Amino acid sequence: MTSSDPTRPGGAEPPFPPGDYPLVVVGSGPGAIQVSYALSRLGIDHAVISRDETPGGMFRRFPVFQRLLSWTKPYAPVDRGSRAYERYDWNSLLADEPEHRSLQPGFMDGSSEFPARSEMEVNLATFAERTGVRVRYGTTWESTRREDGPEGNRFVLETTAGEYRTPILVVAVGVAEPWSPATPGIELARHYADTQPAETYAGRRIFLIGKQVSAFELATGLLPWACGIVLVSPSPTQLSVVTRSLVGVRARYVQPYEDFVLGGGVSVLDAAIDSIERVSGGDALVVRVRPSTPAGAEQAAELAIEADVVISATGWTAPLRDLPSLGVATFGHSRLPAQTPWWESATVPGIYFAGTIGQGAQGLRKHGIPSNSGAVHGARYNARVLAREIARRHFGRAPDRRPIETASVARFLGDEISGAPELFHQRSYLCRVVELDPSSGPHDAGVVPLTAFLDEGGPDAVAVTLEADGSAAIYPVVYVRRGGRTTEHDLDPDPLLDFRAPGYATALGGIVRELHPGLN
């Protein structure tokens, strides 16, 4: 059973009937929309299918308490719609055409710099409509198999509309299936995904399993309603303002933690959960926990905590269907697919991943800080780089390598570390590369994954990225590859993140001359 495509006028028949395609994208969230847009602009014919009825992915339902964690600042020190503005707008998708850029601020009511969930939905749907991203909605991917034929291997996707055959599959289905631990009695708990309206918890005792962002989001939303809230997991709570990264509970959801440290009625416990049981003769639940203790310490006494509602805010898994049976390796409780730096399955060539699921390509994790690939403001750049790599590798579309004057290399790289949003949002993960051709001189090799630049080798080149060390310092790093050997150069941080000062130009000039004495 399929539905008409809401992006087509007059309710016309949906696009992409079952059949053979050079490439198939599965999904209709921001990752799928962004990669489809980029593929189309590169002239790559492809089909997009989704079980959903409209664009938007998980934003149609989550976060439960409406506002996103990522900001869009309608007023910024740069022009809206410019490349530099993307640093301040974490929610718009990327477009080549000026009229399709920075759509998100146009749908915000001014009450917050964090878009409401409904505002994000409109942003994504409008981008898809205006840029001509077509999706066959209401088409559920059910299973996958491989077939050998005269034209090589094909992935065959069984869907509710019929079979789709393709040599290249891009999976952009998010990390969207609820996951809970195998705790005895877990069936008595709700998952975050099944949270009811806040007013239904009025006067009730809430026990939250988990102490990460989703648990503190629920605790924040339920503070005015619940008569008591307990958050429990074995590990201590981390706060983003302490880790100085996106690791930990974000500042918007710190109020329950403040209530805890000030004795305001919220309890935050480091403990393992042994079981959840129903109290005999009533509707209440009792959760038995063992407080975490330092290694070697005497076993702590069990606690029995009564609650009216237990909610498991323990995360999600990637809905990969039967791809693991085809050999797609996964890791962690989220079952993220193991990926190359180019977001291709590490074990099944031809299967790529876009959107939040791309966080399986972890990058360097310098200083223990992860990429932002799990969020729109990171994944949108990954999708654009991925589309270009697919076009080059599978369709013979050579990338545009703009020549750079030998006297302008340092200035070009300086402009990138000062204003490139790709480098700002994907620190230590994406880099801008200038390659040196012995016959034609330096040229812009574009934005690539940093691990690919460092591990795959290639011609003499210089790459710049931004990095952070968890101390609130953000600083440029320059990598020089010469004769197969790579050197690393850290530049000083700037408290205002302004890397246009003369000292940076001087340092960059000296570094690029390491690549070749004639460069500047």
Tens-place pLDDT, residues 287-313: 999 998 664 445 568 899 999 999 999
Beta pairing, strands 266-278 & 285-291: antiparallel
CB 255 within 8 A of CB 265: no
- My answer on whether omega of the bond before 14 falls inside 30° of 0, hence cis, is no
pLDDT at 2: 36
Is pLDDT larger for residue 499 or for residue 2? 499
CB 22 within 8 A of CB 390: no
CB 44 within 8 A of CB 397: yes
pLDDT at 1: 32
For residue 134, the tally of other CB atoms under 10 A from its CB is: 18
CB 46 within 8 A of CB 24: yes
Give me the phi and psi of 185, to 5 degrees please: 90, 5
Q: Please compute the mean of the pLDDT values over residues 85-97 and round it to a whole number.
A: 97
pLDDT at 404: 95
Predicted TM-score (pTM) of this structure: 0.93
Could you read off the pLDDT of 276-289 as tens digits, one per residue? 999 987 789 999 99
Mean residue pLDDT of the chain comes to: 92
Q: Is the predicted pLDDT of residue 6 greater than 70, yes or no?
A: no
Could you read off the pLDDT of 147-206 as tens digits, one per residue? 987 777 899 999 999 999 999 999 999 998 999 999 999 999 999 999 999 999 999 999
- Measure the CA–CA gap between 483 and 460, rounded to whole angstroms: 6
- Measure the CA–CA gap between 467 and 473, rounded to whole angstroms: 8
- Measure the CA–CA gap between 318 and 352, rounded to whole angstroms: 14
* Nearby residues of 95 by Cβ (< 8 Å), 6 or more positions away: 37, 101, 127, 131
Is pLDDT larger for residue 395 or for residue 501? 395
pLDDT at 520: 78
User: In the chain, what is the straight-line distance between the N-terminal and C-terminal CA atoms, in Å?
Assistant: 62
CB 161 within 8 A of CB 139: yes
In terms of Cα–Cα distance, which of 21, 38, 51, 24 is closest to 319?
51
pLDDT at 300: 65
Q: For residue 225, what is the DSSP state?
A: T
CB 353 within 8 A of CB 345: yes
Q: Please compute the mean of the pLDDT values over residues 206-214 and round it to a whole number.
A: 96
pLDDT at 57: 76
Handedness of CA 240, 241, 245, 246 (dihedral sign): positive
- Measure the CA–CA gap between 58 and 217, rounded to whole angstroms: 16
- Measure the CA–CA gap between 319 and 136, rounded to whole angstroms: 19
Residue 4 pLDDT class (50, 70, 90 cuts): very low
* Nearby residues of 195 by Cβ (< 8 Å), 6 or more positions away: 64, 218, 311
Following DSSP, what letter does each residue of 251-290 receive, concatenated? GGG-HHHHHHHTTSSEEEEEEEEEEEEEPTTSS-EEEEEE
Q: Please compute the mean of the pLDDT values over residues 107-133 and round it to a whole number.
A: 95
Q: Please compute the mean of the pLDDT values over residues 328-353 and round it to a whole number.
A: 96
Strands (E), 14-140: 19-20, 24-26, 47-49
pLDDT at 191: 96
Following DSSP, what letter does each residue of 370-409 receive, concatenated? --STTSHHHHHHHHHHHHHHHHHHHH-------B--GGGH
